[in-house]
Structure 1
Amino acid sequence: GSGKSTTIRTLLGIIKKDGGTATIFGQDVWEDSLSIHERLSYVPGDISLWGNLTGGAIIDLFMKLHGKGSAQKKDELIQRFSLDPKKKAKNYSKGNRQKVGLIAALAVDSDLYLFDEPTSGLDPLMETIFQEEVEKLKEQGKSILLSSHILSEVERLADKVVIIREGTLDEEGTLDELRHLTRSTITIETEAENSHLAQLNGVHDFVQKGHLAQFAADNEAFDVILAEASKLGVKKFESIPPTLEDLFMRHYEG
């Protein structure tokens, strides 16, 4: 309900925008949709296929429509995703229907790949294979727009993250840039007693066991924390940056 799929469908020219501008490759997504589509691959989260066609026939059809397919790459992907291409689509599970779409998209040479919840219905092994294929595209310099609720997937693949909330862009930036907006988890062990660190501005959820303490810290408080900790004889200092899930939940709960 945040607007991710609507945004992608607007970029594809499936839905007409009611305001503003939307362009891909410098072209209007509505007026120039045909020429744009010649240069992109798209996989939605819930794929509908022609029930009486085999998976292999559907993949071949999509590749011919695109015009820049590789039969060798197709065969490699069928093997990697463990798809039976001779089975009719009406007999496929949701996960196998998803594999057909992914193989068809990944087997062609596009300038832009749009993935909208692409691993929906896939098991963890197949999710990993998809992620490896996307990393190959990145190495080739391809552009990729990935919409996903699997935040670990986004964290692994994305160079830039956009958080959308109720149709509005809430935050955007690299993962490192977004991490500055929230707290890191600090674990510290000192020779001297350290409970007074809990009173510092920017320190939260302080838990202490002997001279070992763990707490959340605002990033702007790091210098003060380090200065105070250095007076106590530091034996251990560990800082764990927030995950994308931490960032996401703080924005949505805030």
Structure 2
Amino acid sequence: MSVLQVNNLTKKFGKFTALDGVNIEVNEGEVYGFIGPNGAGKSTTIRVLLGILKATEGEAKVFGKDVWANAVEIHKHIAYVPGDVNLWPNLTGGEVIDLFVKLRGGNNKNRREELIEKFKLDPTKKCRTYSKGNRQKVALIAAFSSDADLYILDEPTSGLDPLMEQVFQDCVMDAKRAGKSVLLSSHILSEVEKLCDRVAIIREGSIIESGSLKELRHLTRNNLLVETKQAITALNELKGVHAIEEQEQGLAFQVDTEEMDAVMKHISQFGIVKLESAPPTLEDLFMRHYEGGEQKETGAGGAS
């Protein structure tokens, strides 16, 4: 069942087009990765979903309701964490968490305490004394303490150290196991790869690729490192071979997945001594989409 649906979403700031026909669908119990560099349009899309910005064209629905017309009703069932959290300076972290949880009608004290301990937050300190990382922790604890049906997370681990990132990832997987949905906007590709069922790549306001990781990986290249008894010849003439590089341990190169069989047949005749193959990562896919393309300036509209 679809929890979030975006069809042909367009947002213009004057002459600048921040979003150009964006389509996204997040299903129940799914973690959906929304990736792209800063300035690509991730945060603008999320602001539209939250009812903060009104779309110029297209439609966006959460729980089947229009995000602009029914923003108040929708907000009762979603939890949002931005990439840069601003808190009330004179309240303590604990007071802010309680306020956010109360606003959503939740009252799960045990979950709150468990998360405060996991994220190693001192809830008695005033928010003005918190570092960026601690402000993120307050927002994450508040979000995951509430019983939301959809979590909208916009660069949520910004400022967190690697140990806390792992705690965050555990929270996302707990939410998924409970049948909740997550829209995770990120430029940390390893995070997306670990957590997401499906991803959409946004570039300059347009979705350029979307699907499951398995579906997208056919577009990427495997990384091979080969050592052979005899020197490999004519490798650069083969279709689908890229970035050939002589290394101390052997010959390193990339192969398009669909050409792997032909390439392996070719190199096997030179007597393979050692072969290492690294599966393509989301980063490989991401870089292939961006290489050679200059990013446009986003201007004052802020399509980050």
Pairwise CA distance, 1:208: 4.4
| Structure 1 moving runs of 4+ over 6 Å | none
- Structure with larger RCO (C-alpha < 8 A, sep 6+): 2
Give the aligned partner of residue 190 of structure 2: 152
Deviation at 1:200, TM superposition (A): 1.1
Aligned partners of 2:276 and 2:108: how far apart in 1?
48
Alignment of 1:109-188 (within 5 A): 109-188=147-226
Shift of the 209–252 alpha-carbon distance from structure 1 to 2, 3 Å rule, reads: closer
CA-to-partner distance for each residue in 1:4-26, whole Å, 9 max, x for gaps?
A: 00101101111111100101111
Checking the alignment, whether the CA contact within 8 Å between 1:119 and 1:130 is kept in structure 2 is yes
**Pairing partner for 2:65 from 18, 24, 27:** 27
Q: Do the aligned partners of 1:194 and 1:211 also contact (CA within 8 Å) in 2?
A: no
Structure 2 runs not aligned, ≥5 long? 1-38, 293-304
Give the percent of matched residue pairs that are identical in Structure 1 and Structure 2. 57
- The equivalent residue for 1:201 is 239
AA of the residue aligned to 2:284: D
Q: Distance in 2 between matches of 1:248 and 1:126?
A: 25
Counterpart amino acid of 2:137?
A: K
Per-residue Cα deviation, 1:58-95 (whole angstroms, up to 9, x for no partner):
11111111013411000011111111111111221211
Secondary structure of 1:22's counterpart equals strand
TM-superposed CA distance for 1:103, in Å, is: 0.4
Q: Secondary structure of the equivalent of 1:20? A: strand
Q: 1:211 to 1:224 in 2, by over 3 A?
A: farther
Question: Superposition pairs for residues 36-115 of structure 1, below 5 Å?
Answer: 36-115=74-153
Task: Indicate the structure (1 or 2) with the bigger Cα radius of gyration.
Answer: 1
Moved more, 64-73 or 227-236: 227-236
Comparing 163-172 with 210-219, greater Cα deviation is found at: 210-219
Secondary structure of 2:242 counterpart: strand
CA RMSD of aligned residues (A): 1.8
- Render the CA deviation track for 1:92-137: whole Å, top value 9, x for unaligned: 1211111111100001111110100111121222112111211221
Q: Aligned partners of 2:95, 2:114: CA distance in 1, in Å?
A: 16
1:15 counterpart residue number: 53
Greater helix share, structure number: 1
The alpha carbon displacement at 1:211 in A equals 9.8
TM superposition shift of 1:147: 0.7
- The residue identity in structure 2 corresponding to 1:221 is E
CA 1:208–1:119 in structure 2 vs 1: closer, same or farther (change >3 Å)? Answer: closer
Structure 1: which 5+ residue stretches go unaligned? none
Compute the TM-score of the two structures, normalised by the length of structure 2: 0.78
SS in 1 for 2:57: coil
When normalised by structure 1's length, the TM-score is: 0.93
Q: Is 1:190–1:234's contact at 8 Å kept on the other side of the alignment?
A: yes
Question: 1:204 touches 1:217 (CA, 8 Å); kept in 2?
Answer: yes
1:224 aligns with 262
Number of residues paired by the alignment?
254
* 8 Å contact kept, 1:3–1:167: yes
Cα distance in 2, alignment partners of residues 115 and 211 from structure 1:
42
| C-alpha distance in 1 between matches for 2:172 and 2:274 | 38
* Alpha-carbon spacing, 1:102–1:211, altered in 2? closer, same or farther (3 Å): closer
